[in-house]
Amino acid sequence: MNRIFLGIVLIAFGAAAWRQFGHVPAAGAKSPMEALSAAMISSAGGAVELAIGLVGVMTLFLGLMKVAEAGGLLVIIAKLIRPLMTRLFPDVPADHPAMGAMILNMSANALGLGNAATPFGIRAMQELDKLNTRPGTATNAMALFLAINTSGVTLLPTGVIAIRAAAGSADPAAILPTTLFATACSTIAAIVAAKLYQRFAPLGPADPAAAAIDRPWVREGGGADAGDASAGSGGGSGGADLAAAGRGYPLWASVLALAGIVALIPATIVWGRVVSPWILPGLMVGFLLFGALRRVAVYEVFVDGAKEGFQVALRIIPYLVAILVAVGMFRASGALDAMVGFLGGFTARFGLPAEALPMALLRPLSGSGAYGVMAAIIQDPATGPDSYVGYLVTTLQGSTETTFYVLAVYFGAVQVRRMRHALAAALTADVVAVIATVAICSWLFG
Return the bridge partners of 137, or none: 418
Contacts of 191 (CB under 8 A, 6+ apart): 88, 144, 147, 148
Whole-angstrom distance, CA of residue 108 vs CA of residue 214: 29
With b for 16 or more beta-carbon neighbours within 10 A and e for fewer, the 280-306 pattern comes to: beebbeebbebbeeeebebeebbeebb
Chain mean position to CA 383: 29
Answer whether 67's CB lies under 8 Å from 297's CB.
no
Instruction: Say yes or no to pLDDT of 26 above 80.
Output: no
Query: How many Å is the Cα radius of gyration of the chain?
Result: 22
**Is 301 a domain residue?**
yes
Alpha-carbon distances of 228 from 235, 355, 364, rounded to whole Å:
10, 51, 34
Structure-model confidence comparison of residues 197 and 100, the more confident one? 197
Residue 256's SS3 state is: helix
Query: ∠283-287-290 over CA atoms, to 5°?
Result: 135
Residue 102 phi/psi, 5-degree rounding, is -65, -40
**Is 337 a domain residue?**
yes
Q: What is the pLDDT of residues 145-155, one digit of tens each?
A: 999 988 877 76
Residue 137's SS3 state is: strand
Mean pLDDT of 60-79: 73
Mean pLDDT, rounded, of the chain: 78
**Is 9 a domain residue?**
no
From 135, 63, 130, select the one nearest 98 (Cα to Cα): 130
Residue 214, pLDDT score: 72
Residue 220, pLDDT score: 64
Q: Which of 200-214, 262-276, 419-433 has the highest mean pLDDT?
A: 419-433
Instruction: Say yes or no to pLDDT of 7 above 80.
Output: yes
The 3-class SS string of 109-127 reads: HHCCCHHHHHHHHHHHHHH
**Is 278 a domain residue?**
yes
Tally the residues of the chain. 446
Confidence of residue 77 (pLDDT cuts 50, 70, 90): low
Least confident of 32-46, 129-143, 274-288: 274-288
**Is 3 a domain residue?**
no
With b for 16 or more beta-carbon neighbours within 10 A and e for fewer, the 19-57 pattern comes to: beeeeeeeeeeeebbebbeebbeebbebbeebbeebeeb
Q: What is the pLDDT of residues 312-349, one digit of tens each?
A: 667 767 777 887 788 788 878 888 788 878 887 788 88
Helices (H), ranges, 198-250: 208-211, 216-219, 223-233, 239-243
Instruction: Say yes or no to pLDDT of 114 above 70.
Output: no
Cβ atoms within 10 A of the Cβ of 272, count? 19
pTM for the model stands at 0.69
Residue 418 phi/psi, 5-degree rounding, is -110, 100
Query: ∠128-130-136 over CA atoms, to 5°?
Result: 80
Domain hosting 142: range is 33-445
Answer whether 423's CB lies under 8 Å from 1's CB.
yes
Structure-model confidence comparison of residues 49 and 411, the more confident one? 411
Q: Determine what percent of the chain is predicted with pLDDT higher than 90.
A: 18
Helices (H) and strands (E) counted in the chain, each on its own, are 22, 0
Residue 298, pLDDT score: 86
Least confident of 161-170, 262-271, 434-443: 262-271
Counted domains in the chain = 1
DSSP H/E element including 50: helix 32-71
